[in-house]
Amino acid sequence: MIAQLPLGTEGPQLPQLGLGCMGMSEFYGETDDAQSLTVLDRAYELGVRMFDTADMYGNGHNEELLARFLKNGRPEAFVATKFGIRKAPGEYARTIDNSPDYIRQACDASLQRLGGERIDLYYVHRAEAGRNIEDTMGVLADLVAAGKIARIGLSEVSADTLRRAHAVHSVAAVQSEYSLTTRDMKVEVLPTCRELGIAFVAYSPLGRGLLSGAIDREALSEDDFRRHTPRFSEDALEANTARLGTLTAIADQREATAAQVALAWALAKGVFAIPGTKRLTYLEQNIAAASLTLSDDDIARLDSAYAPGTFVGERYTAEGMKGVNA
């Protein structure tokens, strides 16, 4: 059984563990729609309700894939999608666009691909530098009033931007990378979310697989974007893997995998988590982690061993960092 949390002060109660769908379309090597649909079906069967996508994942493919899943009758599915990153198919280079016309066009395009009448949660994927967040929120508020989106979310924003946005229209959720490898959010953004009654959604709660302790860089396909990120360079990956001793020791004590302990740690922080996978085995292991209860001592040991700055290498390249902490 997956515990539930409220999505903000006005949102529904949802299972704390969701599913990140990005890798089903690109960034993590070869994809297989039939396999992904099997994973989506199984996730729903096991109690997952939050399915996370974005218009830029596969340049629309990911939303279309979710639409195929939703057609099978998934009345409780809660779909979150995003706008704001524009890139050419197959390219990593991107621009950040929060212009009013683009927001409206992107929303209509996502609705068409998803095959629905309203988006449950619509995130600003990245805030555009030089553009007032108040203006962006004004356009999104109009989309709420028009019935096209139910709730507004922000991704990878600063605490200051979050406060300014929330003053214009209520923000239901903030989504940012958060795991034992990336804990920057705990300093300002997480406390601000709690103060304002905004849900926090952790993406990459397993550090893009790093916390499994099983990443073989040479086995990553050429189109796996991790091959090009500083944290997964040969030297950084070796150094970071060597830092996993406390995590693996607790996993051994709990008769769990390192990834399950890392995910249980994130859930223990009272946030939503949306680990991504396109494989049934990993899906089922992740869901089992929702039933793993860590002791206060376990959590304290992990907090101490993996303080911010413990892991080496930036989480993205400079291109990928565009719009982060805006």
Q: What is the pLDDT of residues 276-314, one digit of tens each?
A: 999 999 999 999 999 999 999 999 999 999 999 999 999
- 276, 282, 124, 294: which is closest to 207 by C-alpha? 276
d(C-alpha 230, C-alpha 227), whole Å? 8
Catalytic position from the list 28, 57, 123, 306 = 57
88 versus 159: the higher-pLDDT residue is 159
What was the pLDDT predicted at 103? 98
Taking residues 24-42, what's their average pLDDT? 95
pLDDT score, position 17: 98
pLDDT-based confidence at residue 144 (cuts at 50, 70, 90): very high
On average, the pLDDT of the chain sits at 96
Q: Tens digit of pLDDT for each residue in 185-221?
A: 888 999 999 999 999 999 999 999 999 998 999 889 8
Q: Is 123 a catalytic residue?
A: no
d(CA 134, CA 188): 20
Contact, 135 vs 104, CB < 8 A? no
Angle at which helix 280-289 crosses helix 258-268, to 10 degrees, equals 50
Which of 3.20.20.100, 3.40.1180.10, 3.40.50.300, 3.90.850.10 would CATH assign to domain 4-305? 3.20.20.100
Q: Could you tell me whether strands 13-15 and 78-83 are parallel, antiparallel, or unpaired per DSSP bridges? A: unpaired
Average pLDDT over residues 94-119: 97
pLDDT at 1: 81
Residues found in the chain:
326
